[in-house]
Amino acid sequence: MNSTKKLLFSKRNISAKRCIIILMLMLTSVVYGQTDTVRIGKHDPMTAEKLYNEGISLFSKEEYPAAMQKFSEAIYNRSDFYQAFYNRGIVKDIMKDYNGAIEDYNRALILKPRDPQTLLARGKAWLALNNLESAKGDFSRALEVDKKMHLAYYYRGVVNFMTGKYDDAILDFSETINLKPDHAYAYNDRGSCKLKLGDLDAAASDYLQAVVMDPTMFFSYNNLGTVRKEQGKYEEAAEYFSTAIRIRNDYAEAYNNRGVVRIFSEKFEDAIKDFNKAIELNPDMISAYNNRGNAKYKLNDFKGAIEDYNLVITKEPENGSAYLNRGISKEMMRNTKGAEEDWRKAVSLGVKEAEEFLKK
Amino acid sequence: MKTKINIQIKSLMIVVLTILSINVYSQSVEFHRDYFPSDRAGLKEALQDLKDGDKLFLMGPAMYTDALVFYSRANTFNPNNAMLNYKIGICYLNSVNHPKSIEYFEKAVRLNVPQIDVYYYLGLAYQFNLDFEKAVENYNYYRRSLTPPELINNRERIDKRLSECRNATELVKKPVRVFIDNMGNTINSVYDDYSPILSYQGNMLYFTTRRPIDNKAKRDKNDHKFFENIFVSQKLGNRWMPATELEGSINTKNSHDATAGISFDGQTLFVYKGDKGGHIYESFLKNNKWSKPKKLPKTINTDFHQTSVALTRDGKTMYFVSNRTGSIGGKDIWMTTLDEKGRWAFPVNMGATINTEHDEESIFLAPDGKTMYFSSRGHNSMGGFDIFKTTFEHGRWTDPVNLGFPINSPNDDLFFTMDATGEIGFFSSVRPDGFGGADIYMVTFLGPEKPVIHKTENHYIASIIRPVKERLIGDAVEIVTTPMTVIKGKITDEKTDDPLFATLELYDNETEALLASFTSNKQTGAYLISLPGGKNYMIAVKSDDYLFHSENINVAQSDVSREIINNIKLKKVEVGQSIVLNNIFFDTGAATLRPESYAELGVLYALLLNNPSLKIEISGHTDNVGSAAANLRLSEERARAVVAYLIERGVNRDRLTYKGYGFSKPIASNETAQGRQMNRRTEFQILDK
C-alpha cells in the first residue's frame, strides 16, 4: 500500500514537473519565438526516442501542435533522427504548413535518400502548394523505388488531371485500381478524366462504380449529375444532385448545379431557391450569383438579373461570362448601348460567344 | 372592315336588352326610394344617369366609354347594384381597360346578378387578363348553369373559348422574343387605328383610322363610330411624324375607306370601300399622288364582303379575303391568277389548311414572296383573331403557325405587316397600354435567344474535396539507450559580449558530412546540441561579419552521457584578428594533414571564397616537448601544409602566407597535458581585408 502511495506520489510529481516544463517551454517559446534553442531540462540518453513516441501518441489524439513540439525535441536530441523529421513534416502538412513540411521532408531525405514514403509525402505537400511539376517528380521517384505504391500512382494521376493530361491520368488511376481494386477515389477521378474527354457514358460508369465502393461520396453523385446534365437528362441529373445533398446537406455546389439543371427544365423559381441556398451556404460562390441572374433573366426579371451579375463583377471583375450575361439582360431592357459595352468587355476577357452578339 | 372590330356587338346587344327588362335582384341594392329614403334628389340624379348611360350602352361598344361616365356617377351613388356593376363590367371589357372589368363582374356575381352570362363575360375578362385557369373555371361554370336548350345555342362559343384558353396556356409558356411598342400618339388616337401598310421603301405608313376627319365627320349607323379613313405618317430618321389624312381622292366623308393592301413595288394601293357590303379598289401612285380608286373586277368583288388583298411580286397572283359562297366558314382567303389576257381568273379557296370554319382576315405577303401572314379566329388562336404564318413549300402552303405570345393576345390581333429586313413588323391590337380602341403596334423581332452562360461547380478530384484517409505517420521506435553528449552555451561578441545569432554546423570529421545545422537564439545567443557517441565532430559557428569559430568534440561510443557548457565568443572580421583552427589534425610528429581536417579546411576555404580580398597568415604552434628547432620546423611545415591544401583548392597563393612559431607563442601552460594539447594548434590571422 505504501509503495503504491509512493508510486502515485512520485507519478504526481512527475506530472507536476512535466507541467512546469511544458509551461516553461511555452513561456520561452513566447519570449524567444524560436524552437531550436528553447529546450531546457536535464538530458536523458533515451530522450529522443521517448519524445518521438510521445509525439506519435499525441498525433493519434490529433493534438498536432503538441505532437510537433515532441518531434522537434526529439530532433534536438538526435539530429539524425530521420523518422522524427518525417513525422514532423506530416504534422506540419496536416497543419497546412506545407513549406515547413517540405523542409522537414528534405532533411529526412538527406538522412534517408529515396525513401518512397517521404517522397510521397513531399509530393503531396508540393501538390498542396500547386507546384505540380515537383509533385509529379516526387511521385514518379517514389514509384521507381516501390512500383506497388498505389497512392503514388493515384496522386500522380491527380497531377496529370490537373495539368490536363487526362489520358496519362487515366493510366495512373487504372494502375491504382489494379493495385487496390476498391479504391473509390481512383474510380471517381478516372470518371472525371473521361468526363473531360467527353466520354460521358464511360464517365458515368466510373462514377457509379465509385459510389458502389463508397456510397458516402456525395461529390461523385454531384459529378454524375453533371454527366447527366451534359447528356441533356435534366431530371436524372437533378436526382443525382439531390442525392448528393441528402448525403451532405451543406453541399453548396450540388445546390448550385441542381439550380442549373432546373433552369434547363424551365423550373426557374425552384432554380432560384437552389441558388439562394448555395449562396447561404457559401456566400463566396460566384457561380451561384451568376446562375441566379440567369434564372431571373429567364423569368424576365432583367433588373434582378443585372443586380446579380453586378455582384459577380464586383467580386470578380475579370469574369467575362458575367459581362456577357449582363449584356443580354441589358438588351432586353432596351439598353442596346450598355449591352454592346458589356459584350465588348466580355470579348476582351476571352468570351468568344460575345463576338457573335456584336455582329448582329 | 368595321365588322372585324365589333364582332361581339350583336351578342352583347341581345344580352343588354335582356338585362334592361329585369329589375328585381336579391342582395342587390336597387335604385329605389325604399333604399334611399333620405336622398331623393340624389336618387333622382342617379336614375337619370342610369337612363342616359343605358341610352348610350344600347348604341353599342363605340359608346361604352361615354356610357361609363354616367354609369360611374350612378355607381358612386349606389355601388351595390348588381345590374349596374354588370353593365360597367361590359363597358370595361370592350375597352382597352378591360382588366378593370373583372372587379365589376365579380361584384355583380357577389350581388347575385341574374344574368348567367356574367360568368361567360367574367371568363372572357380573365382570358383577356391572361388568367386562363380562372377563365376556364368561369366558362365551365357558365356551361353548367345553362338549360339544355341554352346549351345547344352556346356550346360552340363556350368550347371555342375553352379551346382558346388551352392554346393560350401553351403559347404564354413560351413567349416569342420580340419587343412590342405602341406606335404612340403620333399614329394612334383614342379611336380605332388599324390596318397598317408600309410603303416599299419603309418610310411611309398608311393605316386606317376611325377618328373624325373634321367637325362634320359622320358616324356609321351600325356601330356609331366615325367612318373609316386612310391616314399616313412619314418616317424621318428614326421618328414617325404625326399622321395626317391621305391626300387625294381616296378618302370620302360618308363611307368607309380603308387600307386593304399594297403591291410589292409600292405603286398600287388596295383600298376597301364599304359600298354594297364592302369591295376592293385599287389606286395608283402617279406623280406622288394616289389616283382615284378603281374597283377590282367582279371575279374578285362580289355582293359579299371583300376586305384584305395581297399581290405576289410578279403581280400575277392575288390573295384576298371574302366571305363569298364556297367559303369554309365566315371569311376565307381566296386566290386568283392573272390569265394571258390580263384578266383575273375565277378565284379558288385556299383550302382547309389555311381557312377554318372561323373567320380569316388581313393577308400580308412577306418580301421573300413565299411567306404569308394572315389573321384567323381559328387554328390555335389564343382568343379572337391571332396572327399566323404559312410558307409555300413543295407546291403547297404549310400548316399555319401562330406567331405566338406576346404578338398575339386573347384579344383581336390583326393586319400584320413587316419591313423589307424582316426585323420590324406592325400590327393592330386592343391592349391595356393603348390610347383607346384598336391601336397600331410595332414588333421588333429579336431573333433566337442569346444563350446565357451557366456555371456549374464540380469536385472532379476526390482527394481535394475529401483528403485520403491514410496513416502516414511513422511508427513508434524501440527505445534504446544511447549515451549523448550535450553541448550548450551562449554565442556572444568577443568584445561587447552581446548575444549573437549564429549558425552552428555539425560535421562528421571522418566523412566530412554535414550532419545538421542549427541556430542560436536571436535574443540570448543560447544554443544546445546533442551528440550521440561514436563520432569525431566538428562544430563550426558562423555569423555575419564575424570570423568563424570551430570546436572539436570527439565522443567515444563508450562515453556516458554528459553535458558540456561551452560559451563561444566570435571575433569580428578585422585585420589582426586570429583564431585557432581546432579541427586541423596531423599525424604525430609529422606535417601530413589527416582526413579529419578536411571539414574545417572546407569551412576556411568557404570563408576565403566569400571574402575574396581577405589575406591571411596560417601559423603553426607546438608544445615545448622536444627541441626548439625541431618544433619550429614542424610548426612551419604544418602551416605550409594547410596553405598548400588551400592553394590546391584554388585560393590564390598571394593571399596566403604561413609561418611556424614552434612553442614561442603558447596559449596555455605546457605544464599540463591539457595545456600542451591547447598549445599544439594551427591558427590563422587576418593580414588584410
C-alpha span between A185 and B460 (Å, rounded): 10
DSSP state, B226?
B
**B101 and B18: one domain?**
yes
Main-chain dihedrals φ then ψ at residue B426, nearest 5 degrees: -135, 150
Provide CATH code, domain A131-215: 1.25.40.10
Q: Is residue B434 part of a domain?
A: yes
pLDDT of residue B7: 39
Q: How far is B566 from chain A (nearest CA, A)?
A: 14
- pLDDT value at position A41? 34
Nearest to A290 among B455, B464, B520 (CB): B455
- Measured CA to CA, the distance from residue B249 to residue B269 in angstroms comes to 13
Cα separation, B588 vs B112, whole angstroms:
133
Separation in Å, CA of A21 to nearest CA in chain B: 17
Q: Taking CB atoms and an 8 Å cutoff, what residues of chain B touch A248?
A: none
**Sorting pLDDT into bands at 50, 70 and 90, what band is B522?**
confident
d(CA B589, CA A24): 51
Residues B613 and B664 in one domain: yes
Contacts of residue A39 in chain B, CB cutoff 8 Å? 528
Q: At what angle do helices A218-230 and A252-264 cross, to 10 degrees?
A: 20
Kindly state whether residue B83 falls inside one of the protein's structural domains. Answer: yes
Return d(Cα B316, Cα B625) in angstroms, integer. Answer: 139
Select from A56, A77, A291 the Cβ nearest to the Cβ of B473. Answer: A56
| Band (B615; pLDDT cuts 50, 70, 90) | very high
Question: B277-312: buried (b, 16+ CB within 10 Å) or exposed (e) per residue?
Answer: ebbbbbbebeeeebbebeebeeebbbebbbbbbbbb
* CA nearest neighbour of B321 among B355, B273, B275: B355
CATH code assigned at B485: 2.60.40.2190
Q: What residues in A contact B481, CB-CB < 8 Å?
A: 45-46
Shared domain for B494 and B505, answered yes or no, is: yes
How many beta carbons lie within 10 A of that of residue B129, not counting itself? 17
- Domain extents in chain A: 45-113, 131-215, 230-299, 312-360
Is residue B242 situated within a structural domain? yes
Kindly determine whether residue B473 and residue A49, on different chains, have CB atoms separated by under 8 Å. Answer: no
**Candidate from B468, B523, B532 with C-beta closest to A151:** B468
Q: Which residues of B touch A169 (CB under 8 A)?
A: none
- In this prediction the pTM is 0.62
- DSSP readout, A128-186? HTT-HHHHHHHHHHHHHH-TT-HHHHHHHHHHHHHTT-HHHHHHHHHHHHHH-TT-HHH
Contact B459 A223 (CB under 8 A): yes
Q: Mutation test of the interface with chain A: which of B177, B238, B445, B450, choosing the one with the most A Cβ atoms within 10 A? A: B450
- What angle (nearest 5°) sits at the alpha carbon of residue B51, between those of residues B46 and B52? 95
Among B557, B572, B587, identify where a domain stops: B572
Provide CB contacts within 8 A for A67, sequence distance 6+.
A55, A56, A58, A59, A87, A91
Asked if the interface predicted TM-score (ipTM) of this complex is over 0.90, the answer is no
Cα atoms found within 13 Å of the Cα of residue B495, Cβ hemisphere only: 6
Distance in Å, alpha carbon of A103 to nearest chain B alpha carbon: 13
Same domain, B262 and B409: yes
Closest residue, chain B, to A329 (C-alpha): B452
For the domain with range A230-299, which CATH number is right: 2.60.120.200, 3.40.50.280, 1.25.40.10, 3.90.1150.10? 1.25.40.10
Copy the grid coordinates of residue A17: 514537473
Same domain? B407 vs B493: no
Interface test with B, best of A30, A31, A36 (most B CBs within 10 A): A36
Which residues of chain B does A155 touch, with a Cβ-Cβ cutoff of 8 Å? 463
Same domain, B245 and B135: no
Number of neighbouring beta carbons within 10 Å of residue A313: 20
pLDDT at A4 over 90: no
Cβ-based contacts of A34 with chain B (< 8 Å): 519, 521-522
The DSSP call for residue B546 is B
- Reduced to 3 states, what is the DSSP secondary structure of residue B87? helix
Q: B453, A162: Cβ pair inside 8 Å?
A: no
Q: What span, in angstroms and rounded, lies between the C-alpha atoms of B133 and B631?
A: 121
pLDDT 10s digits, B625-655: 888 899 999 999 999 999 999 998 888 989 9
What is the structure's pLDDT at A22?
37
Contact B418, B424 (CB under 8 A): yes
Report pLDDT for B560: 63
Contact B458 A351 (CB under 8 A): no
Residue at B463 is within a domain: no
In a domain, B23, yes or no: yes
pLDDT at residue B168 greater than cutoff 80:
yes
Residue whose grid cell is 382570358: B127
Find the residue in B nearest to A266 (Cα): B173
Return the residue in A25, A28, A37, A229 with the most chain B beta carbons within 10 A, the one to mutate for interface testing: A37
> Which pLDDT value is given to residue B331?
95
- Is residue A273 classed exposed, middle or buried when 0-12, 13-18 and 19+ CB atoms within 10 A define those classes? middle
Q: Chain B partners of A43 at a C-beta cutoff of 8 Å? A: 484, 486, 530, 561, 563
Q: Span A179-205, mean pLDDT? A: 97
Is there a domain that residue B403 lies in?
yes
8 Å CB contact between B615 and B688: yes
Contacts of B482 in chain A (CB under 8 A): 45-46, 48, 78
Check for a shared fold between A131-215 and A230-299: yes
- Partners of B522 on chain A (C-beta within 8 Å) are 32, 34
**pLDDT score, position B558:** 63
Q: Are B528 and B665 part of one and the same domain? A: no
| CB–CB contact A253 B473 (8 Å) | no
Residue B468 is assigned to a structural domain of this protein = no
Per the structure block, which three cell numbers stand in for B149? 336548350
> Rounded to an integer, what distance in angstroms lies between the CA atom of residue B271 and that of residue B254?
15
Q: Cα(first)–Cα(last) distance of chain A, in Å?
A: 98
Q: Considering B142, B175, B208, which residue would you say is the last residue of a domain?
A: B175
Task: Please identify which residue in the block is written with the cell numbers 379557296.
Answer: B349
For chains A and B, CB pairs below 8 A equal 175
Q: For residues B167 and B305, state if they share a domain.
A: no
Inter-chain residue contact B466 with A219, CB threshold 8 Å: yes
The CATH number for B226's domain is 2.120.10.30
Alpha-carbon separation of residue B260 from B196, B254, B361, B366 (angstroms)? 9, 18, 10, 15
How far is Cα B55 from Cα B49, in angstroms, rounded to an integer? 10
Q: Which of B175, B206, B239 corresponds to the end of one domain? A: B175
Q: Are residues B162 and B198 in the same domain?
A: no
- For B606, the domain range is 573-689
Residue range A68-93: mean pLDDT, rounded: 92
pLDDT one-digit tens code per residue, B96-141: 999 999 999 999 999 999 999 999 999 999 999 999 999 999 999 9
Q: What is the pLDDT of residues A136-170, one digit of tens each?
A: 999 999 999 999 999 999 999 999 999 999 999 99
Q: What is the CATH number of the domain that holds B53?
A: 1.25.40.10
Residues A300-339 have pLDDT tens digits of 999 999 999 999 999 999 999 999 999 999 999 999 999 9
Beta-sheet pairing, B306-311 with B294-295: unpaired
Q: What letter would DSSP give residue A316?
A: -
Contact call for B477 and A37, based on CB within 8 A: no
Q: Is the peptide bond before A283 cis (omega within 30 degrees of 0)?
A: no
Check A37 against B455: CB less than 8 A apart. Answer: no
In this complex, the residue of B461, B481, B529 whose CB is nearest that of residue A161 is B461
Q: With an 8 Å Cβ cutoff, are B482 and A297 in contact? A: no
Name the domain count of chain B: 4
For residues B186 and B264, state if they share a domain: yes
DSSP B243: P
| Judgement on whether residues B265 and B216 belong to the same structural domain of the protein | yes
> Pairing between strand B229-236 and B681-688?
unpaired
Q: Is residue B458 part of a domain?
A: no
Domain A45-113 classification at class level:
mainly alpha
CB distance A87–B474 less than 8 Å? Answer: yes
All cell numbers assigned to A221: 453523385
State mean pLDDT over A187-198: 98
pLDDT of residue B248: 87
Predicted pLDDT at B275: 80
Cα torsion angle, B589, B595, B596, B601, sign:
positive
